[in-house]
Chain A
Amino acid sequence: MATKQRRSAVLALLMTGVLVVAGCSGGGEEAAPQSELYKDPVTLTWWHNASQDGPGKTYWEKVAKDFSALHSTVKIEIEAIETNQLQRTRLPAALLSSDPPDIFQAWGGGEMTEQVEADYLKDITDQTKTEVGNIGSAAEIWQVKGKQYGLPYRMGIEGIWYNKDMFAAAGIAAPPTTFEELNAAVTKLKATNVIPIAVGAGDKWPAAHWWYNMALRACSVDALKKASAEKNFDDPCFVKAGQDLKSFIDTKPFQPNFIATPGQNDPTSANGMLANGKAAMELMGDWNRGTLDTVTTDKAKLASFLGWFPVPAIAGSPGDPKAALGGGDGFSCAKNAPAECVEFLKYLVSPEVQKGYAETGTGLPVAKGAEAGVKDPALKSILDATTGASYVQLWLDTAYGSTVGNAMNDAIVAIFAGNGTPEKVVSAMKAAASK
């Protein structure tokens, strides 16, 4: 795997698109039988998205080193790439070329289905039966038509992160379990001159997740599954989600000018507001524990006030109140990657490596036997809620693929900006599906 050659190929592709057609021929190697494993020296190239200096990135470096120590024939070259760059430009371009990375970040859902249909990914169903069994239902997101094309290393559901001290000061006895209670809490928090909820609408998806959760409450599990599988958004529950969102926004629970607020990773962002005691709540996934830490000025204080509760139920909605929205991160092997790639993938989700990952505090592990690594109380409550969830719906933009996802998020943000409608969200999704 000549890194230099690939890099220039990617560059040329991005600039010109010249190499696109030439790149589709592929190498055509046959998978080596089990006895051939670790015989010849191989170099695995690994692209992951823990690009910021932090525990996640350091941990992956350690894992790669450990694996090479166990198997001296395997050398692992890591490239840490920022998520958007990785997902939108580097990876699609590299997959089109004849020399993609061997093991790379995969998010499951619509995007992975497209990748499988284009024959980019290695079918690992037979080699990973044990691991999939140990991971359980979360592994299903990395399946296409019953076959396994990747494994998750992080999985968790979304909920509301909150400031216990602010809740106490506002006289809120217990975390809200219904939207009526949430509305009441918002009113009480406002009375204490606190921003009730921070939302990073500037980045679109943090705002869109509010709509996803409304859809989760308004739609039956069947309707959600049908929408993911068939890109069929005819069920009236999707319009209802927009109406519920609109009436929630009308109660003004968010900070002013939320349309300009970034989602995460800087002090002026929504999670910066929560981390530094400027807002009382934020809707976000399990990875937020790690990102909150990077923007706070006082980690000890953050740990003392931080709490988490599941998204409240909406009374009278047909959706299952125990259903949750979630997602994870995983890795896949490229179609022509050496067999050692699958071994490394299995190593990544082994309980020991997963436990070490949990100890970094950047997200929740998926493998059974790694739970002990979760120390943070907020993360522990997410772990319990994830285990207790009756159904986990993958983030809708991931589940429906980038094209529908992007149009959906834009139309939802328009509601936040005051110039969208619940109907337009659905029509935008339908239009995008046909683009």
Chain B
Amino acid sequence: MTSANQIRMPAGGASASPAGHHKAGRDSARRADTRRKWYEIIGLTTPAVVIYVMFVLVPMGFAVYYSLFRWRGVGPPTEFVGLRNYTLAFQDPIFLDALRNNAIIVFGSLLIQGPIALGVALLLNRRFRGRAVFRLLVFVPYVLAEVTVGIMWKLLLTGDGTVDALLRSLGMGGFVQAWLADLDVVIWTLLAVLTWKYVGFAIILLLAGLSNVPDELIEAAAIDGASWWQIQRHVTIPLLGPTIRIWMFLSMIGSLQIFDMIWVTSVPAVRSLGASATMATYMVDNGFFARLWGYGNAVAVILFAISFVAALLFQRFLLRRDIQGAITGRAK
């Protein structure tokens, strides 16, 4: 996708030709110009295209190929089973649990992080003492490595750990749960941790978007007598639209592919019971730990297909204006 795009864009700009030559000379000059342009395009994109094909497209092809075999990863795959691995996956209740958990994380992230991020971003966009410090603090969880955050929360959330102690000291001992062990609770615990980690990213994106909102518009609205809230509602937030949609897109794709945090924070037993599995952890559990390599590849292909379709739909319907001509829209 990227490479096709790169090729198209410079070609669109190949229009200016030096004036003042006679026809033949102009033609040959233009031809030389075009040729040079193509050399540049090929020279500049070939390394990227080769790497992309070798390390993205070819492995993807292999994944599809291996997914058609019953293969334990010992010796080359020989037992062709067609689409059996795919039907097995959709018959496994744990895989369906993983799908459900991915859906919870996708919608949970959008519905919880979005409003929080918007509110905080609007607040942090106002001028007040210590604003820089707040901005930094909000962003800290996002900067930390996912595995570090996962282990940290795992320690905080162990039975009688810091979180439990804190709740008890606040007189809220009734809320104490088996955060990571209760099969009904664990996915919500993980969603909370993910929110804590990623809301900073949404805030930073929105703050960047806010800095692009022209002051004149806000001043004009203020002169017209609009309140702060009215300005946000009718001027700022509509202008933030592209930023919000891009964040939604990134958040959705990230949530579908989520692996590290779930793997590190949740407990293997709870994960394998389906309570905290996602498609990606299910893939590793089955591909490597149960040594079902063909089956694992099938799960990888399913994960890819779901992410790909979701991405396409999102771009087609929600991002159309923002990235016009870049990916799915027609180039003008």
Q: Which residues of A does B touch, CB under 8 Å?
A: 15-18, 20-21, 24, 84, 88-89, 92, 95-96, 114-115, 117-120, 201-204, 207, 256-257, 259-260, 262, 268, 401-403, 406-407, 409-410, 413-414, 416-417, 419, 432, 435
Pull 8 A–B residue pairs with CB atoms less than 8 Å apart, ordered by A. Answer: A115-B74, A202-B267, A202-B268, A256-B159, A259-B181, A260-B270, A402-B289, A403-B72
Nearest Cβ on chain A to B122's Cβ, whole angstroms: 39
**B268 touching A16 by the CB < 8 A rule?**
no
Contact B267 A88 (CB under 8 A): no
Interface size class of B (residues with CB under 8 A): 35 or more
Establish whether residues B291 and A259, one from each chain, have CB atoms under 8 Å apart when the complex forms: no
CA distance A207 to B270 in the complex (A): 13
The answer to whether A202 and B291 touch (CB under 8 A), given A15-B59, A92-B74, A260-B158, is no
Chain B residues within 8 Å of A17, by CB: 59, 62-63, 66, 297
For the complex formed, measure the closest distance between the CB of A147 and the CB atoms of chain B, giving whole angstroms: 18
Which 4 pairs, one residue from A and one from B, show the smallest C-beta to C-beta distance? A260-B181, A16-B59, A118-B75, A406-B290
Type the 1/0 row for B245-269, where 1 means its CB is closer than 8 Å to any CB of A: 0000000000000000000000111
* A435 in contact with B288 given A15-B55, A118-B74, A204-B269 (CB within 8 Å): no
Given that A89-B288, A259-B181, A260-B267 are known contacts, is A114 also in contact with B72, CB under 8 Å in the complex?
Answer: yes
- Write the nearest CB–CB distance from B65 to chain A, whole angstroms: 9
Which residues of chain B are near A201, meaning CB under 8 Å?
Answer: 269
B159 to chain A, nearest CB (A): 5
Contact A417 B159 (CB under 8 A): no
Q: Is the CB of B290 within 8 A of A402?
A: yes
Q: Does B47 contact A (CB under 8 A)?
A: no
Contact A202 B76, CB 8 Å, known A88-B288, A257-B159, A257-B178: no
Nearest A residue to B55 by beta-carbon distance? A16
Q: Which residue of A lies closest to B159 (CB)?
A: A257
Report yes or no: B62 in contact with A259, Cβ–Cβ below 8 A: no
**Which residues of chain A are within 8 angstroms of B76 by Cβ–Cβ distance?**
20-21, 24, 96
Q: Which residues of B line the A interface, CB within 8 A?
A: 54-55, 58-59, 62-63, 66, 70, 72-76, 88, 94, 158-159, 178, 180-181, 183, 267-270, 272-273, 285, 288-292, 295, 297
- Residues A260 and B180 in contact, CB atoms below 8 Å apart: yes
Rounded to whole angstroms, the CA-CA distance of A268 and B178 in the bound complex is: 15
* Contact (Cβ within 8 A) A18 B62: yes
Please name all residues of chain B whose beta carbon is closer than 8 Å to the beta carbon of A88 when the two chains form the complex.
288-289, 291
Contact of A435 among B55, B58, B292 (CB under 8 A): B292
Nearest to A88 among chain B residues (CB) is: B288
7 further interface pairs, Cβ-Cβ under 8 Å (given A16-B62, A256-B159, A409-B272): A92-B73, A114-B74, A259-B178, A260-B178, A402-B72, A403-B291, A406-B290
Do A18 and B272 touch across chains, with their CB atoms under 8 A apart?
no
**A21 CA / B75 CA spacing, docked (Å):** 9
Known: A16-B59, A21-B76, A257-B178. A410 touches B292 (CB 8 A): no
Complex CA–CA separation, A65 to B31 (angstroms): 70
Contact (Cβ within 8 A) B58 A268: no
Closest to B161 in A: A268
User: With A18-B59, A435-B70 in contact, do A417 and B273 touch (Cβ < 8 Å)?
Assistant: yes
- Tell me whether A419 and B295 are in contact in the complex, defined as CB-CB below 8 angstroms, given that A18-B62, A24-B75, A114-B74 are known contacts: no
Most buried by A among B70, B73, B178, B297: B73
